[in-house]
Amino acid sequence: MINVTKTFLPDQEKYLQYVREIWERGYLTNNGPLLQELEAQLKNYLQVDHLYFCGNGTIVLQIAIKALEITGEVITTPFSYCATSNAILWEKCTPVFVDVDAASFNINPDLIEASITPATTAILATHVYGNPCDVEKIEAIAKKHNLKVIYDAAHAFGVKYKGRSLLSFGDISTCSFHATKVFHTIEGGALISNHPELDRKLSLLRAFGHQGDEHYLYAGINGKNSEFHAAMGLVNLPHVPEIIHARKEVFAAYDRLLNWDLLYKPVLSKDIEYNYAYYPVVFSSEQVMFRVMEALRVEEIIPRRYFYPSLNTLSFMPKQIACPVSEDISARVLSLPLYVGLPYSDIERIAGIINGHL
Ligand SMILES: *Cc1c(COP(=O)(O)O)cnc(C)c1O
């Protein structure tokens, strides 16, 4: 079977060396030495100053909302994974969906201002597929209306925009290091802050909010991660350049082989160093998408409807807001298999099946 993704697994012996180290120390979690080492290496690799390794890419969204004291309405994108808007709901805020740009699939900055009300306090946007949002326009709007900006950068590991880490934009960016992402720690995530004054708060919020047994400062949560997860990160991080390179090759092969007269894909921002996180293609109709999905399925090739459904259509959203562009794209998009080690012959086969069913 060929799945949409396959987790990169490093040399087992290197991981086991760390496991033996953990056994010797008997220190398994709570800001241990491997976690601190991973944070140091990630800051260096990503060129960011304030980074906190946490349990997953969803709790970091919640901690970011909490840390910035966001309340009321949060402007967000309907074209993302449900974690983005669910985190807003779990923090007792109201997601206000603003439709996406038809070319980039990211939140359309030109539609944001019309959705701002006196209750709006923040913008939470996703760099979809690692493709940067229009960070300049979003920053200008946020400044003008005094809004906080959080980027769900779950897809944006290692992406640079204008030579600068994409994670260094906004008040806080969040990452996911889930096993399906470009860089993974099995489960994991990170908070990347651009506010040194938030350092103490963020590190406390992820660990119950107290310092020692005396000082209970914030209503914190358990957002911690373990030495075992940090170890996976330490073993995987040196492989990231080769992982991105291998993904780039798969990407280029699909680019060459697919029939672009009858398909399209999001337009990547200029001025980026990309991580080749996903390979989404949009079909001419939902019907064609289903036809292709079925043709692939009989060959045991499993792409993913990513993202589907458009989050604004979920029944439990407090505000029902139409987002025609996002609804249209999400009905017709499939993310194709993309991972290290996907053989060229399989890419040819996948492209052949797709082209044959358009
Ligand atoms: C994967 C993902 C998340 C959630 O990350 P987890 O680590 O699985 O909690 C959030 N947002 C987006 C856009 C994602 O792709």
- pLDDT, tens digit (0-9, with 9 covering 90-100), for 216-227: 999 999 999 999
Compute, in angstroms, the gap from residue 272 CA to the centroid of ligand 1: 22
Compute, in angstroms, the gap from residue 223 CA to the centroid of ligand 1: 14
How far apart, in whole angstroms, are the C-alpha atoms of residue 263 and residue 215? 58
Provide the pLDDT for residue 140. Answer: 98
Compute, in angstroms, the gap from residue 243 CA to the centroid of ligand 1: 19
DSSP 221-272: -B---BHHHHHHHHHHGGGHHHHHHHHHHHHHHHHHHS-TTS-B-PPPPSSE
pLDDT band for position 84 (cuts 50, 70, 90): very high
Query: At 148, phi and psi to the nearest 5?
Result: -80, 155
Give yes or no: 181 in active site: yes
Question: Which pair of tokens denotes residue 255?
Answer: 């680019």
- SS3 (DSSP) at 64: helix
C-alpha radius of gyration, the chain, whole number: 21
Residue 184, C-beta contacts closer than 8 angstroms, at least 6 positions apart:
7, 8, 177, 178, 232, 233, 236
Provide the pLDDT for residue 268. Answer: 97
Q: Say how far residue 117 (Cα) sits from the centre of its chain.
A: 27
- pLDDT per position as a tens digit, 267-286: 999 999 999 999 999 999 99
Q: Are strands 333-335 and 50-54 parallel, antiparallel or unpaired?
A: unpaired
Provide the pLDDT for residue 223. Answer: 98
Query: What is the torsion angle, in degrees rounded to the nearest 10, for the CA atoms of residue 274, residue 275, residue 281 and residue 282?
Result: -60
pLDDT averaged over the chain? 97
How far apart, in whole angstroms, are the C-alpha atoms of residue 129 and residue 303? 15
Q: What region does 101 belong to: left with phi over 0, alpha with psi -120 to 50, or beta?
A: beta
pLDDT band for position 121 (cuts 50, 70, 90): very high
Provide the pLDDT for residue 124. Answer: 98
Of residues 181, 201, 224, 265, which has the active-site annotation?
A: 181
Domain range summary for the chain, segments of one domain joined by + = 2-238, 239-356
Provide the pLDDT for residue 319. Answer: 93
How far apart, in whole angstroms, are the C-alpha atoms of residue 56 and residue 223? 8
Q: Which residue has the tokens 């310092």?
A: 211
Average pLDDT over residues 55-73: 98
Question: Which pair of tokens denotes residue 118?
Answer: 């006196």
CA distances from 86 to 58, 219, 232 (A): 9, 20, 27
Compute, in angstroms, the gap from residue 195 CA to the centroid of ligand 1: 23
Q: State whether the beta carbon of 173 lies less than 6 angstroms from ligand 1.
A: no
Number of separate helices (H) and strands (E) present in the chain: 11, 16
Q: State whether the beta carbon of 184 lies less than 6 angstroms from ligand 1.
A: no
Provide the pLDDT for residue 80. Answer: 98
Helices within the chain (DSSP H only) = 12-25, 33-46, 59-67, 82-90, 135-145, 199-205, 227-236, 240-257, 286-298, 324-332, 344-356
- pLDDT per position as a tens digit, 154-213: 999 999 999 999 999 999 999 999 999 999 999 999 999 999 999 999 999 999 999 999
Q: State whether the beta carbon of 80 lies less than 6 angstroms from ligand 1.
A: yes
Average pLDDT over residues 253-261: 98
How far apart, in whole angstroms, are the C-alpha atoms of residue 283 and residue 240? 31
Look up the CATH number of domain 239-356.
3.90.1150.10
Q: Which residue has the tokens 């996180």?
A: 277
Provide the pLDDT for residue 157. Answer: 98
Q: What region does 341 belong to: left with phi over 0, alpha with psi -120 to 50, or beta?
A: left
Provide the pLDDT for residue 101. Answer: 98
Atom of ligand 1 nearest to the CA of 87: 10
Residue of the nearest CA to atom 6 in ligand 1? 57
Q: State whether the beta carbon of 189 lies less than 6 angstroms from ligand 1.
A: yes
Residue of the nearest CA to atom 2 in ligand 1? 154
Atom of ligand 1 nearest to the CA of 189: 7
- Whether residue 99 contacts residue 148, with contact meaning beta carbons closer than 8 Å, is answered with no
Average pLDDT over residues 145-152: 98
Provide the pLDDT for residue 333. Answer: 98
Burial-class residue 288 by CB neighbours within 10 Å (0-12, 13-18, 19+).
middle
Look up the CATH number of domain 2-238.
3.40.640.10
- pLDDT per position as a tens digit, 8-58: 999 999 999 999 999 999 999 999 999 999 999 999 999 999 999 999 999
Q: How many CB atoms lie within 10 A of CB 281?
A: 21
Compute, in angstroms, the gap from residue 153 CA to the centroid of ligand 1: 9
Compute, in angstroms, the gap from residue 81 CA to the centroid of ligand 1: 7
Q: State whether the beta carbon of 84 lies less than 6 angstroms from ligand 1.
A: yes
Q: State whether the beta carbon of 176 lies less than 6 angstroms from ligand 1.
A: yes
Question: Which pair of tokens denotes residue 87?
Answer: 């985190």
Pocket test for ligand 1, best of 176, 177, 181, 182 (most atoms within 8 A of CB): 176
